[in-house]
Structures are given as C-alpha cells and as structure tokens.
C-alpha cells in the first residue's frame, strides 16, 4: 500500500512559512508522511484561476492516500481544485481550517479581491465524486468567518465540524502555533 502524502495550501497573505504550517509539516514528517507546502502566486491578491492552476501544475498524482490541509482561502482553492479533478480520482480527505464561502469585516479593497471567491459558484457534487471525508475547524471569535458558514460545510460536503474557542483566524497574530486535530484526522 502506498504511503500517505499531504499538501498544505496557505491563507491569503500567507506563505509556506506562515502560522502553524511548519509545525504540522514537522509533526507529519516525523510519522513518515511527506508534506508539500507551496508558496502560492501573488498571495496578497489571490486569484482563483492562478491558484487552482498552480495546484494543477504542481500536484502530479493524487490517490486515496492523498490528503489536503487548507487555511482560509487555501480551503476554497482545494475545493475548486477537486471540482476540476479528472473523473475516477479519489483522495483520502481534507482538513479545512477557517474555511468560508462568505467573509465578514472586510475593507473595500479586500472585498474587491474576495468578490470572485465569494460569488463564483462551486459544484459540490463534483467535489464529492473525489472526496467525502472533510474536517472543518472553526473558531467562535474568527473576525472574518461567521459561524453561519458551518451549516454550509455540513450541508454541502457532509463535513465533520470542530468549533474552538479563542483561536481567531488561526494565524500567528492570534497566537496559534499548532492545531493537534489536524494530526488526529490525517494519522
């Protein structure tokens, strides 16, 4: 049997070294699970087409041992990548940290960047052809993701949900250095 492998897609304005990414990479690699953490293109002004294309170009093979970890806009990127995946390709699962279909408390310039992500529809039936194992982790005090988003992930993806206290948007600025539930889900 092939070994598990993981791809981590960072948040808007982040990079491969941000937040808790180094921690999760190190912990999974200790267990013999390789982790690819990308520096997504133009992170301060993320575009759907560029980010999805980047995954298509940099992820050569997926199978039932492939897992994805997404953070914020990285979650949307993973879902949109899965939506476009060739038929009959299945992956092991996805952990989505602070995932969203809509955002709150954005400045006007941020809203302009987020607009296509919020308004371009996602075909959930296509995603479910490739994966039906989702864990979504939310924080009660996330300044950008309202807890109303939880129902959308349950309804559309059948996601398992964890709601944490005082984690903000799960960034370094929020003091988040590790998210142990990620390891529990993947290992």
Q: Buried b / exposed e across 136-169, counting CB within 10 Å, b at 16+?
A: bbbbeebebbeeebbebbeebbebbebebeebbb
pLDDT of residue 137: 98
Cα dihedral sign for 72, 94, 184, 59? negative
Residue 42 or 2, more confident: 42
The total domain count for the chain is: 1
CB atoms within 10 A of CB 105: 10
Q: With contact defined as beta carbons under 8 Å apart, do 72 and 63 qualify?
A: no
**Residues of the chain above pLDDT 90, percent:** 96
Secondary structure of residue 43 in the 3-state scheme: coil
Where residue 88 falls among pLDDT bands split at 50, 70, 90? confident
Query: Distance (Å, rounded) from C-alpha 160 to C-alpha 71?
Result: 16
Domain residue limits at 62? 5-186
Question: Rounded to two decimals, what is the model's pTM?
Answer: 0.96
Instruction: Supply the CATH number for residue 88's domain.
Output: 3.40.50.1820
- pLDDT at position 184 is 97
CB–CB of 89/64 below 8 Å?
no
């Amino acid at each position: 049997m092939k070994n598990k492998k993981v791809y981590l897609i960072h948040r808007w304005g982040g990079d491969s070294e941000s937040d808790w990414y180094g921690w999760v990479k190190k912990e999974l690699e200790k267990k013999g699970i390789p982790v690819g953490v990308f520096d997504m293109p133009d992170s301060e002004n993320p575009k759907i087409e560029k980010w999805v294309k980047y995954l298509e170009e940099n992820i050569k093979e997926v199978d039932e041992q492939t897992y994805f970890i997404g953070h914020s806009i990285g979650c949307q990127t993973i879902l949109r990548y899965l939506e476009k995946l060739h038929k009959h390709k299945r992956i092991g699962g996805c952990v989505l940290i602070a995932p969203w279909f809509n955002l709150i408390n954005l400045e006007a310039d941020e809203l302009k960047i987020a607009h296509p992500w919020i308004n371009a529809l996602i075909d959930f039936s296509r995603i479910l052809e490739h994966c039906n194992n989702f864990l979504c982790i939310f924080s009660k005090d996330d300044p950008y993701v309202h807890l109303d988003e939880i129902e959308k992930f349950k309804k559309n993806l059948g996601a398992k949900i964890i709601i944490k206290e005082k984690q903000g948007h799960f960034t370094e600025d929020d003091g988040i250095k590790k998210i142990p539930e990620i390891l529990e889900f993947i290992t």
